[in-house]
């Protein structure tokens, strides 16, 4: 029976793969954040701008994940260290700040009837993000199962939230582009705020315990 390339790797190679996936996630989120916030401002789309801001916050989270992989490679049973806890708290505060910004601006846009100029870029970015994040979830899960690593499997489950947020961006952008429904962008922004709040709350829960993720 033919085995997968990952199944044939030893633990050292698997940890290298896990670290490489963490670094890729950081770089991808950084690029996604730059493109999304730029076009979010240009197209006056709050949902796209908020999605980009979330990507920047995920960069901070990703630094903690990369550090975590290096830590558990040295000692799989080691507890979460101060660097990871600090990264989680900073990430949590950033998510809460994003929630306040998105909710406040969304309600204002609904009140004034603000409409984005276009949401085409939001559709394109969300489709790309769904594809990339889905592949990352699958790959991280395969590595996590091979290593029997709860932290890596938890990270894979938490990456699912990025897919959910991408789906919200796709739905709100698509609805506006197809129907011209004025409040689609603002409602999508409130949906992003909901998941950002959940992520922020979970960051503080993890920072104050040995819990890895409740996303599953």
Q: Within 13 Å of residue 12, how many CA atoms lie on the same side as its CB?
A: 0
What's the mean pLDDT in 155-184? 94
The answer to whether residue 194 scores a pLDDT higher than 60 is yes
What's the pLDDT at 5?
A: 47
What's the mean pLDDT in 198-208? 90
What's the pLDDT at 3?
A: 46
Domains and CATH numbers, the chain: 10-207 (1.20.1510)
Residue 9 — very low, low, confident or very high, per pLDDT cuts 50/70/90? low
What's the pLDDT at 213?
A: 58
What's the pLDDT at 2?
A: 45
* Nearest in space to 152 (alpha carbons), one of 212, 207, 82, 199: 212
Q: Indicate the average pLDDT of the chain.
A: 91
The least confident of 43-47, 75-79, 80-84, 109-113 is 75-79
The answer to whether residue 119 scores a pLDDT higher than 60 is yes
The answer to whether residue 4 scores a pLDDT higher than 60 is no
What's the mean pLDDT in 9-25? 90
What's the mean pLDDT in 34-54? 97
What's the mean pLDDT in 66-72? 92
3-class SS letters over the chain: CCCCCHHHCCHHHHHHHHHHHHHHHHHHHHHHHHHHHHHHHHCCCHHHHHHHHHHHHHHHHHHHHHHHHHHHHHCCCCCCCHHHHHHHHHHHHHHHHHHHHHHHHHHHHHHHCCCCCCCHHHHHHHHHHHHHHHHHHHHHHHHHHHHCCHHHHHHHHHHHHHHHHHHHHHHHHHHHHHHCCCCHHHHHHHHHHHHHHHHHHHHHHHHCCCCCCCCC
């Amino acid at each position: 029976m033919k085995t997968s390339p990952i199944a044939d790797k030893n633990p050292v190679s698997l940890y290298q793969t896990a670290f490489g996936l963490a670094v890729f996630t950081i770089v991808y989120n950084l690029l996604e954040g730059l493109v999304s916030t730029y076009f979010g401002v240009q197209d006056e789309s709050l949902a796209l701008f908020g999605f980009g801001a979330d990507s920047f916050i995920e960069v901070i989270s990703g630094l903690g994940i990369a550090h975590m992989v290096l830590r558990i490679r040295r000692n799989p049973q080691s507890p979460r260290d101060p660097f990871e806890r600090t990264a989680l708290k900073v990430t949590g505060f950033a998510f809460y700040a994003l929630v306040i910004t998105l909710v406040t601006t969304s309600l204002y846009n609904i009140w004034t009837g603000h409409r984005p100029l276009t949401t085409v870029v939001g559709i394109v970015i969300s489709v790309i993000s769904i594809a990339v994040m889905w592949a990352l979830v699958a790959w991280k899960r395969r590595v996590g199962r091979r290593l029997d690593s709860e932290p890596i499997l938890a990270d894979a489950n938490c990456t699912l939230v990025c897919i959910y947020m991408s789906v919200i961006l796709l739905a709100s952008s698509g609805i506006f582009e197809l129907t011209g429904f004025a409040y689609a962008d603002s409602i999508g922004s409130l949906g992003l705020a909901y998941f950002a709040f959940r992520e922020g709350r979970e960051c503080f829960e993890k920072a104050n315990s040995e819990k890895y993720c409740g996303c599953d």
